[in-house]
């Protein structure tokens, strides 16, 4: 499980590139703002939607995440444990919902903090920038089975998140090790995520619709 910092909508393509194609956990309301991309994300199984509300059954949410994870085990899950967009220069106190799931189902967690994502794409200002230098700091993975209690696990994760944040934001781009995802390699070393069969069905339907529309114009 990748614990990333949430800065802007730029997160949603940058973090996936940095984390080698990890899936996203997202609330259902995102569908209203981005209906077409959300539809494709659902079909491709690259985003796992849930109904975010007060008093949510955390056990049921954990079971849902685990079921989605088992259906797409290759690339892990990208989450934003601060719980909201944070443009401050220091991290917020982490929420414990996804950490509880990681602890219960023994999923290792890893902090992945990246600077300047809000400059690459900022939906609030409707601005985009090119050639932005971003610094990413990645922590070692923490394995839940090495902790005697959930509380001890959460405390370690919070400390590591802050340390990784400080490491990223205290580093000047010119002092960092330059890389071109994935990590300067010419070709990915990870296994590609297999497309669900429903993706191919959707593509066939779209192609047929396009053919019919084109034919009807003649």
Residue pair 2/110 in contact (Cβ under 8 Å)? The answer is yes
Cα(193)–Cα(175) distance, integer angstroms = 33
pLDDT band at 192 (very low <50, low <70, confident <90, very high): low
Q: CATH number for the domain including 91?
A: 3.40.1130
Q: Nearest CA to 19 among 41, 3, 37?
A: 3
Cα(169)–Cα(164) distance, integer angstroms = 9
Residue pair 18/188 in contact (Cβ under 8 Å)? The answer is no
Number of domains in the chain: 1
Q: How many CA atoms lie within 13 A of 36 on its CB side?
A: 1
Residue pair 25/77 in contact (Cβ under 8 Å)? The answer is yes
Which residue segment(s) compose the domain that 130 sits in? 2-216
User: Mind listing the pLDDT tens digit for each residue in 105-141?
Assistant: 999 999 999 999 999 998 888 888 988 999 999 999 9
Spell out the residues 6+ positions from residue 31 whose beta carbon is closer than 8 angstroms to its own: 38, 39, 49
> Quick one: 207 exposed, middle or buried, by C-beta within 10 A (0-12, 13-18, 19+)?
exposed
User: Mind listing the pLDDT tens digit for each residue in 12-64?
Assistant: 889 988 888 788 988 888 888 788 888 888 888 888 888 877 777 788 888 98
Instruction: Note the pTM of the prediction, 2 decimals.
Output: 0.80
Query: What's the pLDDT at 195?
Result: 63
């Amino acid at each position: 499980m990748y614990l990333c910092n949430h800065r802007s909508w730029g997160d949603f393509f940058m973090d996936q590139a940095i984390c080698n194609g990890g899936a996203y956990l997202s609330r259902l309301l995102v569908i209203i703002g981005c209906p077409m991309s959300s539809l494709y994300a659902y079909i491709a199984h690259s985003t796992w939607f849930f109904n975010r509300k007060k008093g949510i059954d955390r056990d049921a949410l954990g079971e849902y995440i685990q079921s989605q994870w088992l259906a797409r085990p290759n690339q892990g899950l990208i989450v934003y444990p601060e719980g909201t967009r944070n443009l401050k220069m220091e991290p917020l106190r982490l929420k414990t919902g996804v950490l509880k799931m990681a602890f219960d189902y023994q999923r290792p967690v890893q902090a992945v903090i990246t600077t300047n994502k809000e400059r690459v794409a900022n939906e609030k200002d409707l601005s985009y920038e090119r050639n932005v230098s971003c610094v990413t700091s990645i922590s070692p993975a923490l394995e839940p089975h090495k902790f005697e209690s959930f509380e001890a696990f959460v405390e370690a994760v919070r400390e590591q998140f802050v340390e990784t944040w400080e490491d990223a934001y205290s580093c000047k781009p010119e002092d960092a090790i330059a890389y071109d995802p994935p990590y300067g390699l010419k070709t990915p070393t990870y296994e590609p995520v297999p497309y669900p069969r429903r993706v191919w069905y959707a593509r066939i339907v779209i192609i047929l619709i396009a053919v019919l529309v084109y034919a009807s114009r003649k």
